Structure formats: structure tokens, C-alpha cells
Copies of this chain bind each other. A is one copy, B any other.
């Protein structure tokens, strides 16, 4: 039984590795061509497998896309990230947090984000999934954190949910502009966390 479990586990690991390999390939191809323009053959070639093999791991093309979105699910939102730096002073915390989150969108992750946003904008089903699974939980965590900080008298806002959306919006929008190839943003990307923090705090900071 142990042997079997081991085999199962090895098996599972193999399957997971294959899925991952295909998702990696799909992310690259989707980022380069968009979901519709990307072909199964493109993905298969990039993954180094045959066309048919893809269908042993994903039911159809859309399932690959969902697989990609679910990856965000795993990597995107980690409450502990917040906890670790929560003790610092507000400005440092904000700067660090923004830097950390921006740092999560580098290279492959930025591609991933690009792919998902683009598709989310044209696919209601995916859009709803993305809202429910990614955006809303993220807002919930952020709000909770914000309320804690407000309780400590560190920040202030009249409408917390809307403020969260504005802040997230700035984050999203900056990523969007970056993806769209804004050259200034690209060359000054490292300066973004500080600027973001200052812009943000000198509005919401009440500690002074």
C-alpha cells in the first residue's frame, strides 16, 4: 500500500510537472499572441509535446486558460506577506509592500498578468471567475489590514472599500502602462515604490 501510494505520488508529481510544463508554454504563447490567436500546436511545440498530449492534461483550450488563472490564485495573494512587515512604520511598510507586490510581477509573472487581464476583458465566464477567486479575496485581505491600521490611528479614509479600489487601481494601472510598453515607466520602474508610497501616504497618513 505504501508502495502504491508512493507510485501514485510519483505519478501525480509527473502529471503535475507535465501540467506545469504545458501551462508555462501556454503562458508564453498566450502572452505573445493572445488566447485566440495562439494555437494548440503553438503551445504543444513550445512545451515540446505532441498536440494530442495536451488533451491528456486539459479538457480543451479554455481549460488551459483556467489553469493559468488558477496559478495566480496560488501565487498572488498571501496574507503572511502582510504580517511579516506589519510591524514597521507606515511609510516603510507601504514602500516595502508595494515593492514586494510589484516585484511579484516580473518577467513571467508580468506575462501571466497580461494574458489573464486581456482574456478577462473579453470573456465573461473568466471575468467572473477572476473577480471571485482573485480580486475579491485580495480586497478582503487589504480591507482587513487597512482597518487594523486605521484602528491604530495610523491611516484614515472615509470610504475604505473605495479607497482600496483606488489604490489597487493605481497598482493595476501602473502594471498596465508598463505592459503597454511605456518607456519612461520601464526605465524608472525601481522608483515606483517610493513614489507610490509617498503619493499615497501623504494623503492617507495621519501619524505625522
Residues of chain A having any CB pair with chain B under 8 Å: 33-37, 89-91, 114, 117-118, 120-123, 127-128, 130-131, 135, 153-159, 161-163, 165-174, 176-177, 179-182, 184-185, 188, 191-192, 195-196, 198-207
13 more A-B residue pairs beyond the given contacts A166-B170, A166-B196, A170-B173, with a C-beta to C-beta distance below 8 A: A35-B122, A117-B121, A118-B121, A154-B206, A155-B206, A156-B206, A163-B204, A165-B174, A166-B192, A169-B169, A169-B174, A169-B177, A198-B203
Whether B181 and A165, one on each chain, are in contact in the complex, defined by CB atoms closer than 8 angstroms, is: no
Asked if A173 meets B180 with Cβ closer than 8 Å, knowing A37-B122, A204-B201, the reply is no
Asked if A176 meets B172 with Cβ closer than 8 Å, knowing A36-B34, A159-B195, A203-B202, the reply is yes
Distance to closest chain B CB from A179 (angstroms) = 7
Whether A168 and B173, one on each chain, are in contact in the complex, defined by CB atoms closer than 8 angstroms, is: yes
Whether A188 and B162, one on each chain, are in contact in the complex, defined by CB atoms closer than 8 angstroms, is: yes
How far is B185's CA from A172's CA once the two chains are assembled, in angstroms? 15
Chain B residues within an 8 Å CB radius of A157: 199, 204
Distance to closest chain B CB from A180 (angstroms) = 6
Chain B residues within an 8 Å CB radius of A156: 204-206
